[in-house]
Amino acid sequence: MSLTTRNTPSSAGASFNRIDFIPSLRAGAAWVLWLMLAMASILLAELPALLECLLAILVAGAGGLALWRFVFLRGSRALRALEWPVSEGTFHVCIGVPGRRLPAVPEGCRRYGPLWLLRFETAEGVAQLLVDARCQDARALRRLGRRLFDASASGDAAFPVGRQGPDTIRPKV
């Protein structure tokens, strides 16, 4: 029979939660639908023809690049994974090439049914992502949702005041 060692320091470092994001065709379809609505509103506006063409080209180019980077997770600035400590602490985003971790602060993360718009402020700028919750790891996404949305409703200082949490939908009793 072996003896148990009681007063030994933990060999594991700080425990982190991690979610690796998976691109979704449903999120891509929602983005393309939004892009088509934006293009239709430009083309139906009473603008000079040259200005309409210029705006349509700019919106299509920017929308296509955003679809490539923020929905299909391609390119050097695409947010591919997110890590956060189990206890209080800062988020880390994994951008582009694997192994490139940047500390990040959540800014304007919102849920739109099964689609989540995640936006994080880093030292290099804003990293954002459109996520389809049905394609992601359910346990990791629930943990992320609790950390992002429940903490924002409780008034945690790490979350901006303008964020909508679960409390904003239900009436206060």
The pLDDT assigned to 100 comes to 84
The pLDDT assigned to 29 comes to 92
Which ranges of the chain have pLDDT less than 50?
11-12, 154-171
CB 79 within 8 A of CB 128: yes
Handedness of CA 70, 73, 78, 82 (dihedral sign): positive
The pLDDT assigned to 162 comes to 41
The pLDDT assigned to 127 comes to 87
CB 66 within 8 A of CB 74: no
DSSP 127: E
Of the candidates 65, 39, 34, which has an alpha carbon nearest to the alpha carbon of residue 52?
A: 39
Report the distance separating Cα 104 and Cα 120, nearest Å: 6
Of the candidates 106, 97, 103, 94, which has an alpha carbon nearest to the alpha carbon of residue 20?
A: 94
pLDDT digits (tens, 9 = 90+) for 83-106: 988 777 789 998 887 768 899 999
Report the distance separating Cα 29 and Cα 9, nearest Å: 50
The pLDDT assigned to 34 comes to 92
